[in-house]
Structure 1
Amino acid sequence: MSGVSKPDDKTSMNSITAPVKQPAKTHTRRRGLPTSRTWLAAGQWFVTLLLCAFLIVPVVMSIMAGLTVNYFKGVSSGLTLRWLGEVWTQYHSSVFLSLEVAAMTLLITLLTGVPAGYVLARSKTRLSRIIEEFLVLPIALPGLASALALLVVYGGFTMFRMSVAFIVVGHVVFTLPFMVRAVAAVCASSDLRTLEEGAASLGASFFQRFVTIVLPNARPGIVAGALAVLTLSIGEFNLTWMLHTPDTKTLPVGLADTYASLRIEIGSAYTILFFIMTMPLLVAMQWLGVDATGQRSAGKQRSAASRSKPTPTSTP
């Protein structure tokens, strides 16, 4: 019809594309500015690096003090291994004693903590929860309080009080909850009951089920608990300081003596020795992917089991 005007093609195209071009220009202008998420990530990195420096710099300075000729002059005085040699000459017996105590503590916690963790994981009664809380109680109490309790009960037995076994008992009281919780966490997460029932139906005894089913499935928790027990036993000071005698001086107690009575280079060299003993255990914990409770190992075990399950296929 002649009375109706047709819209111009160019005008209609411009009216459609014009609103689209404007946001594109705005987006281009904003791309050069950091977003709030970028600022947040940068702030998190800054705080993390600052905390790492706050924790690591004192350790590095202490190590350097043990390797310098004169701490007050710094590295300019020269580097030496003299202080490490003196520490080893005077306190090598404390090093071997700490390793002996840690080994005996680990053996006792393995023999008692693994069965206890398995029983607590299988039992769902209120009594088992109460026992578990009592086992964790030494962690909540200060080490001095636990040592005082041991002295009150067993201090009258002179031979036992003066022996290394007294320190071992204290370390077992302190480290046993870590082994029990690590094993219990793994045993509770894995389907041990179904596996044991299947083995029992085939005629396996309890001992056979425990050795062939429970222990292999609880291995991540046992490794986690063992590493935690070793590191805690070697580094325990508060409890050991009250229980030790001049003949049963462990590594942390010797470290306190060096800082209290000798020059700072000797104490720093002792710190290096302590560092050399504990770092391999900490690296092993990270390399094996375990923690003090066994939760991370249990999670890895569950994820590996889920990946090994066959995917269901739809039937036509």
Structure 2
Amino acid sequence: MRRQWTTTAGIVITALLTLFLLVPVLLSVYAGLTVNYARGISAGFTLDWVKQVWALYSDTVWRSLVVALMTLALTLLIGVPGAYALVRRGGRFARAVEEIVTLPVAVPGLALALAMILTYGGAGSFRQSTLFVVVGHVLFTLPFMMRSVIAVLDTIDWRTLDEGAASLGSPAWRRFLDVILPNVRPGIVAGSLTVLTLSIGEFNLTWMMHTPMTKTLPVGLADAYASMRLEIASAYTLVFLVMVIPLLIGVQLVAGLTEKRTAS
């Protein structure tokens, strides 16, 4: 009886917390679809605000997708081999490198952006390009990719697998592609999900680093909140959700398929 009461209380608390988090989002979506939020449902519903947002800020949507995908590609190319190299090397040096890589997470985004501007602000074409924002995102998200892969490597006997493949004459690069990567796939998928969500929603770092020509979706959202009427700003939130939610569901589906393949 006591266990049943505890379970019921846990479900109720979880439901209340979920409702507490969802209500503001739902109200924002509602405001973006009403003709006049102050008048409420009686004013009717419209998609005009969404159309205005798309006309004004559609470039920020596509740019955010490009930045997120480029960030993901670079974190995969750097983070997965880097995580394997650190685990393989081990010792104090590997731990020191891991701490240095993790440092951007502990530093406020504005401070990291300021450091980037001070270092590369003189490189005009690079400073004004989308690649400059991508580099900032890579610095911020790389630790999450590396930690996800390292966590999986720590749970498997990768050394035995590697030595077994080496005894069969497989070169180092082939062992990494054919042995290590398939076994760390869950960590790669989890890291990819984290990198995508962080990159798409990142504001502090991007706000400091962007130029008028490299504005991303969260920065445009802040501009809409500051300078537009409430309905347009709320419609921007709706556009943000429509873009992000299918992407997250897609990555989750890939993660589920990966777990099934790994289990089989």
TM-score, length basis structure 1: 0.78
Cα distance change on mapping 1:288 and 1:163 into 2, 3 Å = closer
Deviation of 1:38 after TM superposition, in Å, equals 4.1
The residue type equivalent to 2:87 in the other structure is: A
Deviation at residue 36 of structure 1 after TM alignment: 4.2
Alignment of 1:167-316 (within 5 A): 167-288=133-254, 304=263
Cα distance in 1, alignment partners of residues 112 and 73 from structure 2: 21
What is the 5 A alignment of 1:89-128? 89-128=55-94
Where does the alignment leave 5 or more consecutive residues of structure 1 unmatched?
1-34, 291-296, 309-316
Q: C-alpha distance in 1, partners of 2:181/2:8?
A: 46
CA contact under 8 A between 2:189 and 2:255: conserved in structure 1? no
Is the 1:104–1:168 Cα contact (8 Å) retained in structure 2? yes
Say whether 1:140 aligns with 2:106: yes
Partner of 1:64: 30
Q: Is the 8 A contact 1:108 1:172 kept in 2?
A: yes
- The answer to whether the 8 A contact 2:186-2:255 is kept is no
Aligned to 2:117: 151
Bigger RCO (CA 8 Å, 6+ sep)? 2
Q: How many angstroms does 1:280 deviate by?
A: 2.1
> Between Structure 1 and Structure 2, how many residues are aligned?
262
Higher helix share: 2
Q: After TM superposition, give the deviation of residue 105 of structure 1 in Å.
A: 1.0
Measure the CA separation in 2 of the matches of 1:67 and 1:209: 54
The corresponding residue for 2:13 is 47
1:281 CA displacement:
3.2
1:119 shift after superposition: 1.2
C-alpha displacement of 1:125: 0.7
1:54-80: CA deviation from partner (whole Å, max 9, x where unpaired): 100000000011111111111221111
RMSD value over aligned CA atoms? 1.9
Q: Is the 8 A contact 1:121 1:185 kept in 2?
A: no
Q: Distance between the aligned counterparts of 2:236 and 2:207, measured in 1?
A: 17
Identity of aligned residues (%): 57
Moved more, 274-283 or 238-247: 274-283
Change (3 A) 1:190 1:60: same
Aligned 8 A contact 1:105 1:229 in 2: yes
Q: Deviation per CA, 1:145-173, whole angstroms, max 9, x where unpaired?
A: 11111112111222221111111110000
Question: In 2, are the aligned partners of 1:227 and 1:281 still within 8 Å (CA)?
Answer: no
- Please report how far the alpha carbon of residue 288 of structure 1 lies from its aligned counterpart in structure 2 after TM superposition: 4.9
2:211 alignment partner, SS class: coil
Displacement of 1:285: 4.8
Alignment correspondent of 1:21: none
Structure 2 unaligned spans of 5+ = none
Q: CA deviation at 1:273?
A: 0.8
Hey, what's the Cα distance between the residues in 2 that align with 1:202 and 1:76? 74
- Check whether the contact 2:152–2:184 (CA below 8 A) recurs between aligned residues: yes
- Residue type of the alignment partner of 1:217: N
Letter of the aligned partner of 2:79 in structure 1? G
User: Residues 166 and 243 of structure 1 are in contact (CA less than 8 Å); yes or no, is this contact kept in structure 2?
Assistant: yes
Q: Is the 8 A contact 1:121 1:184 kept in 2?
A: yes
Conserved 8 A contact 1:175-1:229: yes
Q: Which of 1 and 2 has greater Rg? A: 1
How far 1:84 moved relative to its partner? Answer: 0.8
